[in-house]
Amino acid sequence: MIVRNVNDREVLETTYLAHGGAVAQMILDRRTLKEIGFLAIASLKPGKRIEDHVDPMEEIYFVLSGWGEMRVDNEAREIGPGDAVWVPAGAVHGLLNRGEEDCMILVIASPA
């Protein structure tokens, strides 16, 4: 069993800027996982954007708090707390924080 907290040193040491907008950390990744690509947490400030990009893995974005507009290929939807968005491998996707508070998301990725 592995238990990892978002405040653990192993998580905080992975802090990076995700696709131009969100500050993210890897909670669990390929250093530990065998089948799943990663589990990350990210914070997106109001007005900031995770730029449109393509990943080779299928992903799920899960909104913990805040509001935004999620784009997947040619579709855009408003998303908020409790929403999960499936992003197929190879799809163009991005997220704009349209709210007045930080948008906190979990991102789970797995090879297609």
Domain ranges of the chain: 9-111
Low-confidence ranges of the chain (pLDDT < 70): none
DSSP letter at 9 equals H
For residue 39, give the amino acid letter.
L
pLDDT confidence of residue 30: 87
For residue 90, give the amino acid letter.
G
Check the CA dihedral 79-81-86-89 and report its sign: positive
pLDDT confidence of residue 40: 96
CATH superfamily of 9-111: Jelly Rolls (2.60.120.10)
pLDDT confidence of residue 43: 96
Query: By CB neighbour count within 10 A (0-12 exposed, 13-18 middle, 19+ buried), where does 14 fall?
Result: middle
pLDDT confidence of residue 55: 93
Query: At which residue do the structure tokens 């855009």 appear?
Result: 76
